[in-house]
A and B are shown apart, each in its own frame.
Chain A
């Protein structure tokens, strides 16, 4: 028999922010999110929850950085994306907010590189993405803005905007061989057996 002190009971009752995250095979991840109309208190609450979920998730992961998140990943199906301001510095826990983001222009030839997702535990894939894109979105202040993103940031935004349209990164490399990897306990990426990936019931 296990007895909890009052304090422990409270801790058990309070879920970790990372528990808000949904993962495959949750079908919501393949649904398109709705546009945000007015930036209400609820929208602000969603953003706060998203930030908390990423940071809490990262604290539970030894070898990974939580770079960005789309609202659908905490099961809030609105077109809201947050991107870490400095994803090379775990101490910087601030984010930039993109509401109703969309890509207005793709430039260059797609480059394949590793990406992972908070909604697909431990799996990394080499996904082709455009090296340069232009994005328009609305800020947390309600003002529209445009940015040009290159390199890794361009990759991040393509990944997240895909989420708002019901696409997860593995959908971009479905059926492709030699591009799926698993992150092992030591933090190394090991190539996965393509057959197992293609036949997975969780992923597709």
Chain B
């Protein structure tokens, strides 16, 4: 016996969408890709568009909701299902209903935790021990759709945004591979989001200002920021007139701290925070490559005072 390969339309824009598409194209036939013509915060890069060209998949760039509505109205797609990952454009009910089986969104958190635009960064910022991936049926209300499947992933204590993203993309692929066919066969039913046992919370897009370190925060919090912001906007500060990006650090318990004050002690650079101190492990002085704290102190100590 034979069957038609599963055919889907893919909606996605950012680099995680591109990675996901590359994996999905091994399992499903991608009839078309719909992508944001200029994804926000990705500085002119169009990773999904570039990948579609490479894979020989028809791609339709759109700028906004209105253009998306027009595209769907004037196109003929035969797929019964859309898959949406990191798309960045609000999808109207008309677009969802165009597909007989709707649109599945792979969201990189255990919903209803971290709804919104950047669930990965916010999971890292919170210091929580685990997050996950949810396959949600898209509904009009943002990130409130019922779940077809979800899976938890523990967060390593040294996880960074790129390392955690990579693991979540792989997990998302595993879930889609297994559950899209079962959903199309009607052998699974969607469940309300409270099945995950997580609380409702909201993430947002990061801004450039998020990267400016506020030393009044606890060292623990700042250490989370360093790992969450490592690709962008990067945790940076001025140290004795030198602009640095901190790429790795660890918390050192301290009492009676003076936030922002620093001291050099035994090849260690300690900066006082609102609570405890942060010991810098790796950093990148403005215009220089990343270096260890030892290398930095050897070259810069004289200029810090």
**In the bound complex, what is the Cα–Cα distance between A99 and B4 (angstroms)?**
26
For the complex, what is the distance from the CA of A187 to the CA of B181, rounded to whole Å? 17
Question: Is A101 engaged at the interface, CB distance under 8 Å to the other chain?
Answer: no
* In contact, B5 and A187 (Cβ under 8 angstroms): yes
A187 touches B78 (CB 8 A): yes
B78 touches A87 (CB 8 A): no
Please, how many angstroms separate the alpha-carbon atoms of A69 and B1 in the complex?
Answer: 6
A118 pairs with B7, CB closer than 8 A: no
CA of A66 to CA of B3, assembled, Å: 7
Q: A88-B27, A88-B181 are in contact. Are A159 and B4 (CB under 8 A)?
A: no
Cα A116 to Cα B4 in complex, Å, equals: 8
With A88-B27, A151-B187 as contacts: A116 and B6 at CB distance below 8 Å: no
CB distance from B204 to the nearest CB of A (A): 36
CB of A98 within 8 Å of the partner chain: no
Q: Could you tell me if B177 and A188 are in contact, using CB atoms closer than 8 angstroms?
A: no
Residues of B within 8 A of A145 (CB): none
* Contacting residues, chain B, for A114 (C-beta < 8 A): 3-4
User: For the complex, is A204 an interface residue (Cβ under 8 Å from B)?
Assistant: no
Within 8 A of A (CB), among B136-191: 177, 181, 185, 187
Q: A151 is contacted by which of B5, B78, B177, B185 (Cβ under 8 Å)?
A: B185
With A88-B6, A88-B27, A187-B29 already in contact, the answer to whether A67 and B1 are too (CB < 8 A) is: yes
Whether A67 contacts B78 by the Cβ 8 Å rule is: no
Closest A residue, CB atoms, query B31:
A187
Instruction: Encode A180-194 as 1/0 by CB contact (under 8 A) with B.
Output: 000100111100000
B180 CB, nearest partner CB in chain A, Å: 8
Question: Which residues does chain B contribute within 8 Å of A67, judged by CB atoms?
Answer: 1-3
Q: Decide if B5 touches A64 in the complex (CB within 8 Å).
A: yes
Q: Answer yes or no: A51 CB below 8 A from chain B CBs.
A: no
A159 cross-chain contacts in B, Cβ below 8 A: 1
CA of A88 to CA of B1, assembled, Å: 13
Which residue of B is nearest A124, CB measured?
B4
Please give the distance in Å from B132's CB to the nearest CB on chain A.
22
- Could you tell me the distance in whole angstroms from the C-beta of B33 to the nearest C-beta in chain A? 16
A63 at interface by CB-CB < 8 Å: yes
Nearest-neighbor residue (CB-CB) of B77 within chain A = A188
**0/1 string, B179-219, CB within 8 A of A gives 1:** 00100010100000000000000000000000000000000
Which chain A residues border B181 with CB–CB below 8 Å?
88
Bound: A152/B184 CA distance, A: 11
Considering only CB atoms and an 8 Å cut-off, how many residues of chain B contact the other chain? 16
B181 to A: closest C-beta gap in Å: 4
Nearest CB in chain B: distance from A79 CB, A: 16
Chain A residues 141 to 169 lying within 8 A of chain B, measured CB to CB, are 150-152, 155-156, 159-160, 169
Q: Does A91 contact B (CB under 8 A)?
A: yes
From residue A150, how far is it (CB to closest CB) to chain B in Å? 8
Residues of B within 8 A of A156 (CB): 1
Q: Is the CB of A64 within 8 A of B3?
A: yes
Asked whether, in the complex, the Cβ of B3 is within 8 Å of the Cβ of A87, the reply is yes
Does B26 make an interface contact (CB < 8 A)? yes
**Cβ distance B134 to chain A, nearest Cβ, rounded Å:** 21
B3 touches A63 (CB 8 A): no
| A61 CB contacts on chain B under 8 angstroms | 2
A52 and B130 CA atoms in complex are apart in Å by 44
Q: Which residues of chain A are near B185, meaning CB under 8 Å?
A: 151-152
Give A41 to B206 CA distance when docked, in angstroms: 65
CB-nearest residue of chain B to A186: B78
Interface contact B3-A160, CB-CB below 8 Å: no
Contact A63 B26 (CB under 8 A): no
Q: How far is the CB of B165 from chain A (nearest CB, A)?
A: 24
What 0/1 readout, one digit per residue, does chain B (1-33) give for beta carbons within 8 Å of chain A? 111111100000000000000000011010100
Residues of A within 8 A of B (CB): 61, 63-69, 87-91, 114-118, 124, 150-152, 155-156, 159-160, 169, 183, 186-189
Selected A-B contacts with CB under 8 Å, 30 pairs: A61-B2, A63-B5, A63-B7, A63-B29, A64-B2, A64-B3, A65-B2, A65-B5, A67-B1, A67-B3, A69-B1, A90-B5, A90-B26, A90-B27, A91-B26, A114-B3, A115-B2, A116-B3, A117-B2, A124-B4, A150-B187, A151-B187, A160-B1, A187-B4, A187-B5, A187-B7, A187-B29, A187-B31, A187-B78, A188-B78
Known: A187-B7, A187-B78. 7 other contacts (CB 8 A): A63-B29, A64-B4, A90-B5, A124-B4, A159-B1, A186-B78, A188-B78
6 nearest A-B pairs in the assembled complex, by CB-CB distance = A116-B2, A88-B181, A188-B78, A159-B1, A68-B1, A67-B1
